[in-house]
């Protein structure tokens, strides 16, 4: 699975003028399943996302993960958005090919599984809507953006 993770001050997803998901400080996670992916890759991806140390500690070093953001039992938010275009292949010209993305049925299944697992493991999870025309708004913090692939 592929992910592009952005540390954000806030992020939201809007569909047809209505906000369907929003978070304050946390991670915007754009995610794409590939044809050979399974629930195993989704589980590994979530584990890496939750443990990714890209938030500053008291000395200003990136030593804290999204689950460390608030010591009062509340975590930073996760906004998980499906984005098949992460699998774009531009090696053949100027028009991207998306043959490296999973078929929609598998992509939806793995996206739904990832979201379900995230909600079981994390206190604040918002989402977009699979295969919808979404507008994503964010304030990237840093900026910090991390590409990730789990095989």
85 flagged as catalytic: yes
Q: Which of 6, 41, 83, 127 is catalytic?
A: 83
Q: Which of 85, 98, 116, 135 is catalytic?
A: 85
Chain center to CA of 114 = 10
* Nearest CA-CA partner of 50 in 20, 80, 95: 80
Q: Write the DSSP assignment of 20-76 as a string of letters.
A: EEEESSEEEEEEE--TT--HHHHHHHHHHHHH---EE-TTS-EEE-GGGS-TTS---
Q: Which of 6, 84, 117, 127 is catalytic?
A: 84
83 flagged as catalytic: yes
What residues are labeled active site? 83-85
């Amino acid at each position: 699975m592929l992910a592009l993770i952005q540390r954000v001050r806030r992020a939201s997803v809007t569909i047809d003028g209505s906000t369907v998901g929003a978070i304050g400080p946390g991670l915007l996670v754009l995610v794409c399943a590939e044809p050979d992916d399974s629930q195993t890759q989704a589980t590994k991806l979530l584990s890496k996302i939750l443990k990714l140390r890209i938030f500053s500690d008291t000395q200003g070093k990136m030593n804290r993960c999204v689950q460390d953001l608030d010591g009062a039992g509340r975590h930073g938010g996760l906004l998980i958005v499906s984005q098949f275009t992460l699998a774009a292949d531009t090696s053949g010209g100027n028009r991207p090919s998306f043959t490296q993305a999973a078929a929609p049925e598998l992509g939806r299944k793995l996206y739904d599984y990832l979201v379900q697992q995230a909600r079981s493991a994390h206190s604040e999870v918002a989402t977009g809507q699979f295969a919808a025309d979404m507008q994503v708004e964010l304030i990237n913090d840093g900026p910090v953006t991390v590409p990730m692939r789990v095989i």
